[in-house]
Amino acid sequence: MSKSKSEYLINRHDNQYEVVIGLEVHAQVTSESKLFSTSATKFGAEPNTQVSLVDAAFPGMLPVINEYCVKQAIKTGIGLKAKINKRSVFDRKNYFYADLPQGYQISQFKDPIVGEGKVILDMPDGQKEVGIERLHLEQDAGKSIHDLDPKNTFVDLNRSGVALMEIVSKPDLRSPDEVNAYIKKLRSIMRYLGTCDGNMQEGSLRADVNVSVRKKGSKEFGTRCEIKNVNSIKFMQMAIEYEANRQVDLIEDGQTIDQETRLFDTKKNETRSMRSKEDAHDYRYFPDPDLLPLEVSDDFIENLKSEIPELPDEKKKRFIEKFKLSPYEANILVSDIETSNYFENVIKKSDVKLATNWIIGELFAALNEKNLEITESPISAGNLSKLINLIKDGTISGKIAKTVFEQMMEGDKDPKKIVEEKGLKQESDPKALEALIDKVIDDNRDKATEYKSGKVKLFGFFVGQVMKVSGGKANPQLVNEILKKKL
Amino acid sequence: MSDITKQSLSELVENIKGKKLSSSEVTKAFVERSEKSKELNAYITEDYANALNKAKTFDEKPNLDLKLPGIPMAVKDLFCTKDLRTTAGSKILNNFVPTYESTVTQNIWNEGAILMGKLNCDEFAMGSSNETSFFGNVQNPIDKNLVPGGSSGGSSSAVAAQLTPITIGTDTGGSIRQPASFTGTVGLKPTYGSCSRYGIVAFASSLDQAGPMAQNVKDCALLHEVISTYDEKDSTSIDFKRNDYSKELTKDIKGKKIGIPKEYRVDSMPKEIEDLWKKGIEYAKDCGAEIIDISLPHTNYALPTYYIVAPAEASSNLARYDGVKYGFRAEGENLIDMYEKTRSEGFGAEVQRRIMIGTYVLSSGYYDAYYLKAQKVRKLIKNDFDDAYKKVDAILTPSTPSSAFKIGEKTNDPVSMYLNDIFTVPVNLAGLPGISIPAGHDAKGYPLGLQIIGKAFDEQNILNIAYAMEEKINFKNNITDWWIK
């Protein structure tokens, strides 16, 4: 395997293979109630406590569309810079399974609510655009639980009927790293919009991964395999790596690739065949006669547009232009809405440059160490900006500030109080500093003489001594100036 | 008062409101007659004790402002009724007791009516003779071993035999109008979207519509007024201005333009049907209507179109009966085996036939040739009606191509059975209202019906025409109570 720049290629003998990846992401719509019923959607509820007669498909029960979910899907479409279809149609996807009470899933097949769009990825060697094919609304199925009883399968219908957005990318992704960046970007956009919480542990974001390989330079796509229902970025990357290599091995061996659906075994780190194209379900899609085509007006869409917050790409642009951040810094700060909110709160009352460094540096490191999210930060944005102001106005040095910061991490204390209580205020009074410096020079007469005779390296020794004697509180800039004069 | 069960709904309402009859007296009379009529097999589930109790409760504090004050009524077993078994005529729902009430039946109870029981019907409303019911054939009170029509066969039999003063059925391709025609009663299939489908066991969602069945047009209008409401729980329910159909009922139809579609003169039509139609035209003229010849050119394609669309939707609608959640379950080796056994044993032959047809026409590779083509033809059929209604206010046709046939006569010939719906099916495909009224008898003395088809939402108009013609026709049903020993 070789990587020139960020190009991801698989080498076998004299051949180089490119990997082509497309994703079908299933994102759970953030909504109090389900797509076609009023049942609650809380995660982790007792099994079968969030199930209505509609969700359990009782005779004569009918679906009624949840307008809020429609709005969420359209907002997501706007966030993906996509075409919003004013008319879309709900279809039935027919198949039998114990956790699919209706015997069909209500989905959108021919006429999805959102059409083509795009997502911009920031890769190490520049930006990359990934095309979005479509976004459609559909119902989730329930959950079959096979491991609670040796003979029986249990079914939990809490998830049955929960609204999902299926976001289908074009086959534009070329490496596991790009997949990582794509999922993170998608997640970020949806979290900015409040349309999906992106929680992969809870299954709010899952993906089917389509993988094919082709010789580098080829314009034709190879035969693809679909890896079903992968629920973490790491597993997606591992699955792609395994699957791409498996396909290359087959081709190198003179064999052909069967178009099929595969499963990723996370324990064995391999994909294996689930069903071939011949065994593929015939889902007998047809428009759901219980639901009229979904029609939305221009006004409806315009109103939603006015509710769209500033999204990561725009925010990044603004941070760079307005605050003179580097693209690297801006990327980090906008990657997630909570971080960017925190940042913007800090800089309301303090220096941008210092704030950027302190957040990306000290704060992130400290949070990482404690395994905390920015929303759980022990230091509020207000107190961090106070700390930065203390540095900026010379009340404390950067070094002292780190001590104060550590104490703030133990509990959100006002940095001013910490400085006062512990007497950490920086000594910036020239007279006091002169006295200190005189004493240090007196105590080190021999070294002072050596310095004067040309051993200039000793200047650092004197700075260190002054700082030590002052308990780190001496203003380093002033110490420098005075020392130069005195020596 | 002796012959309570011979009274029409309007008479009963008047007598209860006038305190000449109590709900208990009325309910008792219909319960007693129902009990003596078991040979008709009109009921699947009887709820007489509860009905009598409810009547007693009503009489203790009668609310006489209601439209159906203390009126007992049995309903087709396709309507889900809270705490009372609802089977859809199928083994697969043999043990199913809903915890909820359909909107249509709730509307009826809200107006003071009392549930007596659930009436027999073809399994999942799939049939034209009530012979596909898991609960057995229903006898037509007109004659022994005669089918009452279907799928609302229990309903038509019960109204004709006066086991219930009125009832409701459902009509997907003629299931109200054809049985009404076979039993000498009145049946209205309302505009699609007029009556909520919430809580009605679904057959074909884009065609199903509940409607009233009664002994006369006035009763039919009153019941329709009660059951037709906009319902947010049904996304295909339509919010339009509904009339007080019974209050606004009038026999003055002078100048109404009534269309006679030439395509309904089918080759195999018996002469007596042709004669009935001619008589109908004369009656309409007598009422002051103007008769206009019209054309509905795609009529021939209606039946094949219907037998693609309806089974397609049914194949999907019936997927939920899988033995997992409720209803009948046959044990199996594994999930697939359980599905296969449950559905093979739980569904009857006709339902299985339609599920297979429906599955086939939706299959990849056949979808375009069948389902999609059928949808396009359906649109053409609707366009035919739209064009016709530029010239006329309503359309007059026979209700069925024959009178009632014998039990067993057509069970082995599904196509001949399907042909029974030839005049009713186009109305469902176009989503229009249609009413069947009794208009005469054939040589054997069996009733024959005429169908009046209206514009969408124009139930009032066809009720008025039916009301005016009913008076001229002056139909009398020959019912001898042969089944009562």
Give the start-to-end residue ranges of the domains of chain B: 7-263+269-296+383-473, 299-380
Q: Which 93-152 residues of chain A touch chain B by CB within 8 A?
A: 94, 96-98, 101-104
Q: Identify residue B482 by its one-letter amino acid code.
A: W
Unique residue bearing structure tokens 């003596």: B36
Asked if A60 and B199 come within 8 Å (Cβ–Cβ), the reply is: yes
Shortest CB distance from A103 goes to which of B102, B313, B319?
B319
Q: Are the CB atoms for B37 and B163 separated by under 8 Å?
A: yes
A153 and B CB contact within 8 Å: yes
Q: What pLDDT is recorded for position A6? A: 62
**Does residue B67 have an active-site annotation?**
no
CATH 1.10.10.410 holds for A430-486: yes
**Does residue B151 have an active-site annotation?**
yes
Asked if A289 and B93 come within 8 Å (Cβ–Cβ), the reply is: no
**Which residue is closest to A94 within chain B, CA to CA?**
B316
So what's the ipTM on this one? 0.96
Nearest alpha-carbon partner for B208 in B359, B98, B314, B350: B314
Task: Give the domain ranges of chain A.
Answer: 15-304, 310-422, 430-486
Q: What pLDDT is recorded for position A99? A: 96
Asked if A60 and B80 come within 8 Å (Cβ–Cβ), the reply is: yes
Q: Are the CB atoms for B466 and B452 separated by under 8 Å?
A: yes
Q: Identify residue A276 by its one-letter amino acid code.
A: S
Tell me what the mean pLDDT of segment B34-45 comes to.
Answer: 98
Asked if A60 and B197 come within 8 Å (Cβ–Cβ), the reply is: yes
- Please state, as a whole number, how many other Cβ atoms lie within 10 Å of the Cβ of residue B291: 16
Residue B1 has pLDDT above 50, yes or no: no
Nearest alpha-carbon partner for B160 in B485, B476, B459, B457: B476
Please write the tens of the pLDDT for every residue from B188-244.
999 999 999 999 999 999 999 999 999 999 999 999 999 999 999 999 999 999 999
d(CA B11, CA B5): 10
d(CA A43, CA A431): 65
Residue B2 has pLDDT above 80, yes or no: no
Q: What pLDDT is recorded for position B484? A: 94
Token pair listed for A357: 């460094």
When scoring B78, B235, B371 by the number of chain A Cβ atoms within 10 A, the one with the most, hence best to mutate, is: B235
d(CA A301, CA A304): 5
State how far residue A4 is from chain B, nearest Cα, in angstroms.
45
Q: Are the CB atoms for A111 and A136 separated by under 8 Å?
A: no
Q: What pLDDT is recorded for position A485? A: 82
Please write the tens of the pLDDT for every residue from B96-113.
999 999 999 999 999 999
List B128, B151, B152, B194, catalytic entry? B151
Please write the tens of the pLDDT for every residue from B78-97.
999 999 999 999 999 999 99
Q: What pLDDT is recorded for position A37? A: 97
- In the predicted model, residues of chain A with pLDDT beneath 70 are 1-6
**Does residue B38 have an active-site annotation?**
no
Nearest alpha-carbon partner for B308 in B210, B206, B449, B407: B206
Residue B55 has pLDDT above 80, yes or no: yes
Total-model pTM: 0.92
Q: Is B140 helix (H, G, I), strand (E, B) or coil?
A: coil
% of residues, chain B, pLDDT over 70: 100
Confidence tier at B124 by pLDDT (50, 70, 90): very high
CA dist A387 → A242, A359, A361, A369 (Å): 49, 12, 14, 21
Q: What is the third-level CATH fold of B7-263+269-296+383-473?
A: Amidase signature (AS) enzymes (3.90.1300)
